C-alpha cells in the first residue's frame, strides 16, 4: 500500500471532483481538498503532528 500522504492526496482530489463546477472556482476547490487530504495523510503517516500545532498555538504571549 502507498503512504497515507499519497492516499490522502488522492482522496482529496477525488472529493474535489464532487464539488467542481468548472473554471477558477473549481480549481480552487480542488486545491483546497488536495491540500487538506495531504495534510491529514501526512499526519497519519507521522510526518507532521497536528496535535502539537493545534495545542501549541494557544501558548503564545
Instruction: Specify burial of residue 53 (Cβ count, 10 A radius: 0-12, 13-18, 19+).
Output: exposed
> What is the average pLDDT across 32-45?
88
* CA–CA gap between residue 46 and residue 40 (Å, rounded): 10
Confidence class of residue 28 from pLDDT cuts 50, 70 and 90?
confident
Task: Determine phi and psi for 20, rounding to 5 degrees.
Answer: -70, 130
State the pLDDT at residue 56: 77
State the pLDDT at residue 54: 83
Q: Which residue ranges make up each domain of the chain?
A: 4-53
Three cell numbers at 20?
Answer: 467542481
State the pLDDT at residue 58: 55
DSSP character at residue 49? -
> Residue 44: pLDDT above 80?
yes
Averaged confidence pLDDT in the chain: 78
Amino acid at each position: 500500500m502507498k503512504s497515507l500522504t499519497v492516499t490522502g492526496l488522492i482522496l482529496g482530489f477525488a472529493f474535489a471532483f464532487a464539488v467542481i463546477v468548472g473554471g477558477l472556482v473549481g480549481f480552487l476547490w480542488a486545491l483546497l481538498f488536495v491540500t487538506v487530504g495531504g495534510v491529514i495523510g501526512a499526519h497519519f503517516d507521522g510526518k507532521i503532528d497536528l496535535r502539537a500545532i493545534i495545542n501549541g498555538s494557544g501558548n503564545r504571549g
